[in-house]
Amino acid sequence: MGRARTLIATIAAASAVSMMTASPVAAQGPSVLRLAPGDGCPDDYVCLFGGPSFSEGGYAVHSRSAVNDFQALYFNDEMTSWINATRYYYCWYQHAEYIGVGFVMSPHSALSEEPASRNNTAASLQECPFDT
């Protein structure tokens, strides 16, 4: 029963985000996956976790995809740690629609806990709007 709920939640989240997800290159997998506690981060995804040291569940966003408002995922102001398992620079923002400062997530990097001033403040995520 737990797997069925996770699958339903994943489908619902993907449906809610489908209107908000920009995909300039066709994705090789679903744009957004729901992560259960203890799940790792799949290759070619940016993973956002609700607890320190990747300890709580969250979401995985496929490379070349974006989420302009975490409220659609019921994950607004919930991110504490993250893994960028892509080859792209990603930026997360404290406001929906990528408003404000973009906090950079370098390719193939991770942060086990955001500093207190930024912890639980993420509201949107996109590939950084600068050339590397």
Domain of residue 122, CATH code = 2.60.20.10
Average pLDDT over residues 102-120: 96
| Per-residue pLDDT band at 29 (split at 50, 70, 90) | low
Quick check: is 123 in a domain?
yes
Q: Report, as an integer, the average pLDDT of 13-21.
A: 39
pLDDT on residue 19: 33
| Residue percentage of the chain with pLDDT more than 70 | 77
In a domain, 113, yes or no: yes
- What percent of the chain clears pLDDT 90, i.e. is strictly above it? 73
Parent domain of 32: 2-127
Listed in sequence order, the residues at least 6 apart from 18 whose beta carbon sits closer than 8 Å to its beta carbon are 31
- Whether the pLDDT of residue 102 is over 60: the answer is yes
Residue 132 lies in a domain: no
Q: What is the pLDDT of residue 131?
A: 59
Mean pLDDT of the chain: 83
**Average pLDDT of span 85-105:** 96
Decide if 6 is inside a domain.
yes
Q: What is the DSSP letter of 128?
A: -
Question: Stretch 4-17: mean pLDDT, rounded?
Answer: 41
2 vs 68 pLDDT, higher one:
68
What per-residue confidence (pLDDT) applies to 7?
A: 38
Q: Is 117 exposed, middle or buried (0-12, 13-18, 19+ CB in 10 A)?
A: exposed
